[in-house]
Structure 1
Amino acid sequence: MTATAALTLTWDDVPWKSDASQRLSRTQRARITSTYKAAVPADIATMTFAIDAQVAAEADDARDAIARFDAELSMMFPDGEFAPLSSVLLRTESASSSQIENITAGARALALAEIGIAKHGSNATLVAANVDAMNRAVALADKVTPDTILDIHEALMRGQDHANPGRFRDEQVWVGASPTPHGAMFVPPHHDRVRASIDDLCAFTARTDIPLLTQAALAHAQFETIHPFNDGNGRTGRALVHALLKGGGATTQTTLPVSAGLLNDTDAYFDALTAYRQGDPSPIVERFAQASFSAVDNGRLLAKDLNTAHQDWTARLTMRRHAVVWRVLPVLISQPAITSALIQDHTNVSQPAADNAIRQLMEAGIVEKASGIQRNIVYLAKDVITALDEFAARARRG
């Protein structure tokens, strides 16, 4: 048996008990039988993968491009001011990953959500939760374990009881609009198989004999095939990619917005996942390589725009270098929606000092008061908001 054949899914016949109270059409009822077929993922911990040679080479080139991008960014901003750019790139990756699931939020809305100004359950708060999950993934990158995955999911889906945050599913799920597994687009493994499959996946991520980006793409595809949660699988699985890139040393100081690269052709991404389940691992590796190149190009433009904004700000300010306002500029790169309290917290200054710094920023045209917000006085760095929205537009266009 070849490696490709070994990867192909097999199927369980699982008993199905019909719910008489469920309203179904005649066509839907005609599809229902006493059993349904649920996927049985192959064990990949020790598998040898047959990757197309050209695709493998492209993935290696993409991994090198990621490392160069990471090194470039560390030199773009003055000492001590790179960390905010890292935060921005992580936020853009989180927003793009959410958008693949049709959860969209503009830069202004997301910036406000991250300081607690958004309706509970809004798209912006969901994306903000994805930012937290990405942070968890990067922080836990040393070793991928079942607990690591649960921790990422808990951060992502906190407060969404239907998803059972931080716990593997204990019921059957399926992909597609079908009211039963019969006729669904894809039926992941029965929940009794989830933990063993996750253990196998974690063992796979510990291997060092597979090129890093190829390994990350395969791990992601296997995770999506296992589909271990009631909801949030796609976003958790893409966060897992960043844990692997960080743990493997491709990224050291930043988060490459790979999901932004996937956004320009989501059909190809989902087709590649299907191909993986049918035994061909090359398309998902190719898609991640292409997405990485696209993400590097788009990320460079975003970094350039933010660096230009930072240089423009420094030219507008005439205060002495020890003034508080200079310490606020990196905060604005990281968080383009600010309040006096946020400035006090980030720079450890008094309210009068924070208020004075905000006044100076307004006089220089660097921030403006946000409109339409009650109870809170919020100021926006319009240059950063514009740069982030332009990044998102480029990702959609490809």
Structure 2
Amino acid sequence: MLETPARIEPCFFEEHIPTELADLSVDIQREATGLGQGLHPDSAAELADLVRVMNCYYSNLIEGHNTRPRDIERALAGAELEEETRPLALEARAHVIVQRAIDEMHRKGTLPRPTSVEFLTWVHKSFYDEMPDEFRVIEHPDGTQEPIVPGRMRQDDDREVAVGRHLPPSSSRVAAFMDHFDKRFQIAARSSSGRIIAIASAHHRLNYIHPFPDGNGRVSRLMSHAMALTAGIGGQGLWSVSRGLGRELINGIPFLAV
């Protein structure tokens, strides 16, 4: 198995972005800019809160966790939860809290580069710091359990992982792969259309590397959300990355695509 970071290539277009894709990225930017036009800022903010709930609902659904929106809203409000729905509702609450923080950082102009190790470890740590105990462990096929350390990527002495039939880079090589990943997508983000088109590629490559023992899907979806904000297609928080991914998964797109 090749263990050089070039294993994740091609990450992006080597020479130039095809005209058709560049034109489509302009269309996306125009449509996203039109979202929420004419809405009072308070109304737009209230709608964005509803979309966050929808986004985390679909993010959980991708993981096979079906959580009712009303339970998510109860968890966010700090209401008492039924025992059988509590873990999933608190998991969804964690997603909303992190996405809300990402949106706030973007609004203030303090959002780090979404493909950076700094940002990705912050997302993982923030998410798992809010997770219920039931979801803070990894169940291995041999029946053993391993605690999840919030914000910690796979390292030299970690057990190797498999994601279905996919074998990610060895734990000892994750740091090198992530360094290459970030440098590659910094280059891809040098143009307006590049920032948009790079979202899907970065999403796939992060899941391919599988840098964390668990939680990679959720981190990649939150990274894609942050990349959309940075690319100027966030639409004031009025559209959901995870809803589109969830619909594609239902239609049979393989795991690594989401």
Query: Fold-level match, TM-score > 0.5?
Result: yes
Larger radius of gyration: 1
Q: Pick from 190, 198, 204: which aligns with 1:208?
A: 190
For residue 186 of structure 1, report the CA deviation from its aligned partner.
0.5
Q: Pick from 129, 141, 150: which aligns with 2:111?
A: 141
Task: Name the CA shift for 1:113/1:147 in 2 (closer, same or farther; >3 Å).
Answer: same
Aligned partners of 1:74 and 1:82 also within 8 Å: no
Deviations 1:360-397 (A, max 9, x none): xxxxxxxxxxxxxxxxxxxxxxxxxxxxxxxxxxxxxx
Task: Name the CA shift for 1:243/1:90 in 2 (closer, same or farther; >3 Å).
Answer: same
For residue 256 of structure 1, report the CA deviation from its aligned partner.
2.2
Calculate the TM-score normalised by the size of structure 2: 0.75
Aligned partners of 1:141 and 1:244 also within 8 Å: no
For residue 269 of structure 1, report the CA deviation from its aligned partner.
3.5
* CA distance in 2 between partners of 1:142 and 1:132 (Å): 17
Aligned partners of 2:53 and 2:73 also within 8 Å: no
Aligned partners of 1:113 and 1:128 also within 8 Å: yes
1:151 and 2:122 are equivalent in the alignment: yes
For residue 42 of structure 1, report the CA deviation from its aligned partner.
2.8
Q: Pick from 102, 113, 137: which aligns with 2:64?
A: 102
Task: Name the CA shift for 1:270/1:66 in 2 (closer, same or farther; >3 Å).
Answer: farther
Aligned length: 228
- Structure-1 residue corresponding to 2:142: none
For residue 105 of structure 1, give the secondary structure of its aligned residue in structure 2. coil
For residue 97 of structure 1, report the CA deviation from its aligned partner.
1.4
- In structure 2, the gaps of 5 or more residues are 138-146
Which of 1 and 2 has higher RCO (CA within 8 Å, sep 6+)?
2
For residue 169 of structure 1, report the CA deviation from its aligned partner.
1.8
* CA distance in 2 between partners of 1:147 and 1:102 (Å): 28
Task: Name the CA shift for 1:113/1:82 in 2 (closer, same or farther; >3 Å).
Answer: same
For residue 151 of structure 1, report the CA deviation from its aligned partner.
0.9
1:67 and 2:33 are equivalent in the alignment: yes
For residue 143 of structure 1, report the CA deviation from its aligned partner.
2.0
For residue 253 of structure 1, report the CA deviation from its aligned partner.
2.5
Aligned partners of 2:47 and 2:238 also within 8 Å: no
1:270 and 2:240 are equivalent in the alignment: no
- Structure-2 residue corresponding to 1:222: 205
- Structure-2 residue corresponding to 1:248: 231
- Structure-2 residue corresponding to 1:86: 48
- In structure 1, the gaps of 5 or more residues are 1-9, 13-37, 177-184, 274-283, 285-398
* CA distance in 1 between partners of 2:24 and 2:213 (Å): 34
- Structure-2 residue corresponding to 1:297: none
For residue 121 of structure 1, report the CA deviation from its aligned partner.
5.8
Task: Name the CA shift for 1:39/1:146 in 2 (closer, same or farther; >3 Å).
Answer: closer
- Structure-2 residue corresponding to 1:174: 162
- Structure-2 residue corresponding to 1:130: 95
For residue 265 of structure 1, give the secondary structure of its aligned residue in structure 2. helix
* CA distance in 2 between partners of 1:95 and 1:165 (Å): 22
Aligned pairs (5 A) from 1:223-372: 223-251=206-234, 253-266=236-249, 267-270=251-254, 273=257
For residue 222 of structure 1, report the CA deviation from its aligned partner.
1.0
Q: Over aligned residues, Cα RMSD in angstroms? A: 3.0
Structure 1, 145-154 or 246-255: larger mean CA deviation: 246-255
Aligned partners of 2:196 and 2:231 also within 8 Å: no
For residue 245 of structure 1, report the CA deviation from its aligned partner.
1.2
For residue 247 of structure 1, report the CA deviation from its aligned partner.
1.5
- Structure-2 residue corresponding to 1:192: 172
Deviations 1:189-213 (A, max 9, x none): 1111111222222223333135332
- Structure-1 residue corresponding to 2:140: none
Aligned partners of 1:44 and 1:201 also within 8 Å: no
**1:127 alignment partner AA:** A
Task: Name the CA shift for 1:45/1:136 in 2 (closer, same or farther; >3 Å).
Answer: farther
